[in-house]
Amino acid sequence: MWTLVGRGWGCARTLARWATGAALGPAPTFGAAPESWPTCRVYSSAEFKEKLDMSRFPVENIRNFSIVAHVDHGKSTLADRLLELTGTIDKTKNNKQVLDKLQVERERGITVKAQTASLFHNCEGKQYLLNLIDTPGHVDFSYEVSRSLSACQGVLLVVDANEGIQAQTVANFFLAFEAQLSVIPVINKIDLKNADPERVENQIEKVFDIPSDECIKISAKLGTNVESVLQAVIERIPPPKVHRKNPLRALVFDSTFDQYRGVIANVALFDGVVSKGDKIVSAHTQKTYEVSEVGVLNPNEQPTHKLYAGQVGYLIAGMKNVTEAQIGDTLYLHKQPVEPLPGFKSAKPMVFAGMYPVDQSEYNNLKSAIEKLTLNDSSVTVHRDSSLALGAGWRLGFLGLLHMEVFNQRLEQEYNASVILTTPTVPYKAVLSSSKLIKEYREKEITIINPAQFPDKSKVTEYLEPVVLGTIITPDEYTGKIMMLCEARRAVQKNMIFIDQNRVMLKYLFPLNEIVVDFYDSLKSLSSGYASFDYEDAGYQTAELVKMDILLNGNTVEELVTVVHKDKAHSIGKAICERLKDSLPRQLFEIAIQAAIGSKIIARETLPIFKNIFQYGGDITRKMKLLKRQAEGKKKLRKIGNVEVPKDAFIKVLKTQSSK
């Protein structure tokens, strides 16, 4: 819906005629513009609304909360119902995943980006401001959850009445518990045929030590009993502890990039007030900016006159460079410095992959796209890299494989960028042996994120590999198979707890490189989809690691170099050689595909020659002479011929086989 405004009726009519040709949608309404507005401009209906007066909400009437849960337990559906109940959005059948604004979220049916919405709710004659943050549920996006919790005083912990407590439910509870937030357990999907809310209540009481009578049973899909969730938010979650009379202190907990307005920072105000025209300073960069717009997300941007301490909203201040908006930064008023807020623990990348443009002429466009997307997803780390076969590019660090896939998909959808991604690897460490090397590297313990730079055994005293503490929750009938899978992945069992009569929680210490690619798929396959998995960083441990080269006719292919455990080198090398044999196009000469550790060949496959089929009607001796001459030519060609690996073969080759 569009509202056409202007000073004078003629201006509005001119705009109306222009809008009809511009196909802006439904018929416009007309209105008179305030004196401060430009003479002629098209405004959306949201802009034309009177700006909200946020001073109407005293601190005691504000509640900031997040919704956390395991994947597919109904967070986004509950958020939709809360938006409807408070009149933030109209009730329609199309209200599905309203806060999941990204195309990748709607396609995959998962939340990958935390989204904020300010709800206005009248309860017992009081007008409340409820700031809701809908968070992701997958382990790869737990950093989004931890950042969202910094702007909250409580959480709704949603648990599926059919599936019960899952691995990510446990992880999210402890994130909220460590942040000392109020936790309201919500048992969702009570309308399902096999729902057992009483069993889930007992699980919550046993695992989280929350009394079962504090659980709220709802069906977010049907809207059953959702009103009691709003009531619980008001009654059980405390208002923020802030001081409006103190100088401004705002925490940047998220940010997005708009090509017309620059950086849009999501902020939580801990002290003071901010309004349009204020001069603010970034504690991180010490740069000064003038605020051009403040507002709340309802769930779309709605400008307000001011934002007050205790409130969550957005702020635009002319930040044009993506490096200027640091997640965790503190903003304060010019000439009124304050003690910066603690910010966030920086995310630790668990998976690294090389990223290169398909065409090197697209390098600068891709660089700009990556910079803008990393502003929106600050958990991605970027290092410049280059390759003989693929040219200039980057080595990016991600929180997991799904995170990597989603980032790649967002690059394609939001920035129309086509990229080549190399095999995912994990960061290893090496303890250097000589003082000369320590002086050269300026540290005794070096981190290796690119397998091609893996140092030789003669230079180090020991190698270290990253390990994670994994939590698996599964029905007890699959326990034996899952334990065998974990042992095959070099895992060490730490704990085993029965959380009820039928479900087991297993804790294992895993080498990260054993689970990063296909462990989750294998786990789901073994447990018929019932087991859930979550992991957290557990440091490094000593390991027997080797660098494995892949050779084509004796030449090393740098992009296919991998770091593997000594015991698994043969099976992994054989699998890569077999896959390479299936992926490479045949040549006019035989190709030897080999996996090698140093000078020792541990696996080999041979790609046969591309044979010419021809019919020959002459004397057989002439035919034999021709074939002999052709064989000699191919032998010579094999000596001098370089094999070029097609770019599209890299990802196909380097996907780990499930038989690993």
The pLDDT value recorded for residue 143 is: 67
Radius of gyration of the chain from its Cα atoms, rounded to whole angstroms: 30
* Cα gap 577→447, rounded to integer Å: 28
Instruction: Give the DSSP letter of residue 388.
Output: T
486 & 593 share domain: no
69 & 143 share domain: yes
* Cα gap 500→450, rounded to integer Å: 44
Q: How many separate domains does the chain show?
A: 5
251 vs 93, more confident: 251
The pLDDT value recorded for residue 353 is: 83
222 & 291 share domain: no
13: pLDDT confidence band, cut at 50, 70 and 90?
A: very low
Q: Ranked by mean pLDDT, which of 130-144, 235-249, 318-332 comes out on top?
A: 235-249
206 & 325 share domain: no
Given a cut of 70, whether residue 515 has pLDDT beyond it is yes
Given a cut of 70, whether residue 630 has pLDDT beyond it is no
What is the percent of the chain where pLDDT is above 70? 79
CATH number at residue 313: 2.40.30.10
Given a cut of 80, whether residue 409 has pLDDT beyond it is yes
253 & 211 share domain: no
304 & 355 share domain: no
CB count in 10 Å sphere of residue 500? 16
Q: 529-551 pLDDT, tens per residue?
A: 788 888 888 889 999 999 888 88
Q: Are the CB atoms for 327 and 147 separated by under 8 Å?
A: yes
Q: What is the mean pLDDT of residues 501-524?
A: 85
550 & 529 share domain: no
The last residue of one of the domains, among 496, 521, 543, is 543
Q: Parallel, antiparallel, or unpaired for β 62-69 and 216-217?
A: unpaired
Q: Are the CB atoms for 201 and 212 separated by under 8 Å?
A: yes
Residue 15 lies in a domain: no
Given a cut of 80, whether residue 187 has pLDDT beyond it is yes
69 & 200 share domain: yes
The pLDDT value recorded for residue 658 is: 36
Residue 8 lies in a domain: no
Q: Are the CB atoms for 645 and 551 separated by under 8 Å?
A: no
Residue 273 lies in a domain: yes
Residue 482 lies in a domain: yes
Q: 246-258 pLDDT, tens per residue?
A: 899 988 888 877 7
Give the DSSP letter string of 204-237: HHHHH---GGG-EE-BTTTTBTTHHHHHHHHHHS
Q: Are the CB atoms for 333 and 248 separated by under 8 Å?
A: yes
* Cα gap 281→633, rounded to integer Å: 72
Terminal-to-terminal C-alpha distance of the chain: 56
Q: What is the mean pLDDT of residues 558-562?
A: 79
Q: What is the mean pLDDT of residues 276-293?
A: 88
* Tokens 């504000």 sit on residue: 62
CATH number at residue 564: 3.30.70.2570
CATH number at residue 479: 3.30.70.240
Q: Residues marked as binding?
A: 69-76, 134-138, 188-191
Burial 5-26 (b: 16+ CB within 10 A, else e): bbeeeebbeebbeebeeeeeee
The last residue of one of the domains, among 236, 264, 282, is 236
- What three-state secondary structure class fits 644? coil
Residue 556 lies in a domain: yes
In the 3-class helix/strand/coil scheme, how is 61-91 assigned residue by residue? HEEEEEEEECCCCCHHHHHHHHHHHCCCCCC
What is the side-by-side order of every strand in the sheet holding 293-297? 288-290, 279-282, 330-333, 249-258, 262-271, 312-316, 293-297, 301-303
635 & 537 share domain: no
* Cα gap 301→396, rounded to integer Å: 32
Q: Are the CB atoms for 126 and 36 separated by under 8 Å?
A: no
CA 350 to chain centre: 12
* Cα gap 215→200, rounded to integer Å: 10
Residue 26 lies in a domain: no
Q: 316-349 pLDDT, tens per residue?
A: 888 876 567 777 888 999 888 888 887 666 667 7
CATH number at residue 385: 3.30.70.870
Q: Are the CB atoms for 114 and 93 separated by under 8 Å?
A: no
CB count in 10 Å sphere of residue 435? 9
* Tokens 């790609």 sit on residue: 607
* Cα gap 321→197, rounded to integer Å: 50
**In 3D, which of 634, 627, 548, 628 has the Cα closest to residue 586?**
634
Q: Residues marked as binding for GTP?
A: 69-76, 134-138, 188-191
Given a cut of 80, whether residue 176 has pLDDT beyond it is yes
Given a cut of 60, whether residue 605 has pLDDT beyond it is yes
Residue 338 lies in a domain: no
Q: What is the mean pLDDT of residues 275-296?
A: 88
Q: 561-596 pLDDT, tens per residue?
A: 888 888 888 988 888 888 888 877 777 677 888 899
645 & 633 share domain: yes
188: pLDDT confidence band, cut at 50, 70 and 90?
A: very high
Helix and strand tally (H, E) in the chain? Answer: 17, 34
Q: Are the CB atoms for 76 and 111 separated by under 8 Å?
A: yes
The pLDDT value recorded for residue 614 is: 52
Residue 402 burial class via C-beta count within 10 angstroms: exposed 0-12, middle 13-18, buried 19 and up? buried
Given a cut of 80, whether residue 653 has pLDDT beyond it is no
The pLDDT value recorded for residue 509 is: 93
Structural domain containing residue 466: 428-543
The pLDDT value recorded for residue 31 is: 40
The pLDDT value recorded for residue 217 is: 92
Q: 296-314 pLDDT, tens per residue?
A: 888 788 888 889 988 888 8
* Cα gap 102→217, rounded to integer Å: 30
Torsion, Cα 145 148 153 159, to 10 degrees, reads -30
Q: What is the mean pLDDT of residues 178-187?
A: 90
Given a cut of 50, whether residue 66 has pLDDT beyond it is yes
520 vs 42, more confident: 520
In the 3-class helix/strand/coil scheme, how is 477-492 assigned residue by residue? HHHHHHHHHHHHCCCE
Q: Are the CB atoms for 647 and 420 separated by under 8 Å?
A: yes
Q: What is the mean pLDDT of residues 189-194?
A: 88
Bond prior to 475 in cis (omega within 30° of 0): no
- What three-state secondary structure class fits 10? helix
399 & 432 share domain: no
The pLDDT value recorded for residue 542 is: 92
The last residue of one of the domains, among 543, 578, 602, is 543
The pLDDT value recorded for residue 238 is: 92
* Cα gap 118→57, rounded to integer Å: 12
Q: Are the CB atoms for 576 and 550 separated by under 8 Å?
A: yes
What is the percent of the chain where pLDDT is above 90? 10
116 & 223 share domain: yes
Give the DSSP letter string of 155-178: EEEEEETTT-S-HHHHHHHHHHHH
CATH number at residue 139: 3.40.50.300
Structure-token pair, residue 318: 């002319």
Mean pLDDT score of the chain: 78
Given a cut of 70, whether residue 112 has pLDDT beyond it is no
Residue 450 lies in a domain: yes
CA 134 to chain centre: 14
* Cα gap 290→262, rounded to integer Å: 13
Tell me how long the chain is: 660
40: pLDDT confidence band, cut at 50, 70 and 90?
A: very low
377: pLDDT confidence band, cut at 50, 70 and 90?
A: confident
